[in-house]
Amino acid sequence: MKRILLAGAALALLAAGSAGAAEKKVFALVPKALGVPFYADAEKGCKEAAAKLGAECLFTGPAQLDDAEQTRIVRDLVTRKVAGIAIAPNNADSISNVIAAALDKKIPVVTFDSDAPKSKRIAFIGTNNEAGGEAAGEAFAKALPNGGTYAVLTGGLSASNLNDRIKGFKSKLGDKFKEVSGSPFSCNDDSSVGVQVIQDILAKNPNIDGIFFSGGWPMFAPQAYTRALKNKQADLKAGKFVIVSFDTLPTQVKLLKDGYATTLIGQRPLAMGMDSVDQLDKLAKGEKVPPVTDTGVDIVDKSNVEKFAAGN
């Protein structure tokens, strides 16, 4: 009889534990694409924040840039009834309807990294992209005081965050700067395509003075990137050719130290992931959050790269 009672108690505890596990909040973080190295820190921040709350971070998204697939994934999350969703929209217009559908089901939605300001999303967490672009433009103009020709390498042409960066960048260039034909050039957030774009730009414009990357994609493939810029490294070190890029991932910082970039505009994806979960948790509890959280930027060049690298 005693064994039966003990077994019954064990089953009751197991059931209670299962119920507790079932009640654990699940917050989903949906990047533009899973294969983009930039989002690794966002995932880390999401998981750290969720663990502190006793919740779960579900990091899920399309394998590559795909508006329809990102929308389908978010619809599945709505069906699953997760506690909250943070999205980095690839296309702000295409994701608006599914954001509205989530809110209709009382699932709070915020955007991170890339915004969809015309949607019903509750808040945005990330870089002030236009201001970050302005910082990039200032660094570019400072490095080329006499102006020159330039190209812009970007990810998806419809990504609002990237377009805001380009807008800010161009606003800080004066009449002495001229953009080459065909720019901006899209790599669809693909590192290998980004490297090929650089090769094509240099082949068609051998006397170009600089390139602005609205994201660090080609630098995420460092060996191929250095090969593509082999003939420009001396000019980079001498300040005759300029590369200003968004992001400060470790590979990019090393490339800057090695003379393969002029200035990096660093975002803070770890903070984006952490703040997304914290705000979704507050929203799930009926609390209010600020409509915009600017996670800030870091400006890194040869003057402070050693200090920046040591602190990260």
Tell me, yes or no, whether 61 and 189 share the same domain: no
Tell me, yes or no, whether 172 and 91 share the same domain: no
Q: Is residue 18 part of a domain?
A: no
Output the pLDDT for position 24: 87
Cα gap 213→154, rounded to integer Å: 6
Residue type for position 4: I
Domains: count for the chain: 2
Residue 22 reports pLDDT greater than 90: no
Tell me, yes or no, whether 165 and 237 share the same domain: yes
Tell me, yes or no, whether 151 and 207 share the same domain: yes
**The domain that contains 213 carries what CATH number?**
3.40.50.2300
Tell me, yes or no, whether 176 and 260 share the same domain: yes
Q: Is residue 215 part of a domain?
A: yes
Which residues constitute the domain of residue 37?
A: 25-126+269-294
Q: Is residue 6 part of a domain?
A: no
Tell me, yes or no, whether 98 and 178 share the same domain: no
Of the chain, the percentage scoring pLDDT greater than 90 comes to 86
Tell me, yes or no, whether 92 and 151 share the same domain: no
User: Between the CA of residue 16 and those of 2, 83, 214, what are the distances in Å?
Assistant: 21, 21, 50
Q: pLDDT tens, 186-221?
A: 999 999 999 999 999 999 999 999 999 999 999 999
Q: What is the mean pLDDT of residues 100-114?
A: 97
Tell me, yes or no, whether 135 and 258 share the same domain: yes
Residue 21 reports pLDDT greater than 70: no
Output the pLDDT for position 17: 43
Q: pLDDT tens, 243-279?
A: 999 999 999 999 999 999 999 999 999 999 999 999 9
Residue 18 reports pLDDT greater than 70: no
- Chain center to CA of 9: 49
Output the pLDDT for position 50: 98
Tell me, yes or no, whether 230 and 119 share the same domain: no
Q: What is the mean pLDDT of residues 6-19?
A: 40
Q: Is residue 202 part of a domain?
A: yes
Tell me, yes or no, whether 140 and 108 share the same domain: no
Name every residue whose Cβ is closer than 8 Å to that of residue 95 and which is 6 or more positions away in sequence.
67, 70, 71, 74, 87, 89, 116, 119
Average per-residue pLDDT in the chain?
92
Q: 105 with 81: CB under 8 angstroms?
A: yes
Q: Which helix (H) or strand (E) holds 29?
A: strand 26-30
Residue 310 reports pLDDT greater than 90: no
Cα gap 40→238, rounded to integer Å: 34
DSSP string, 147-161: -EEEEEEES-TT-HH
In three state form, how does the secondary structure of 207-263 look? CCCEEEECCCHHHHCHHHHHHHCHHHHHHHHHCCCEEEEECCCHHHHHHHHCCCCCE
Tell me, yes or no, whether 109 and 204 share the same domain: no
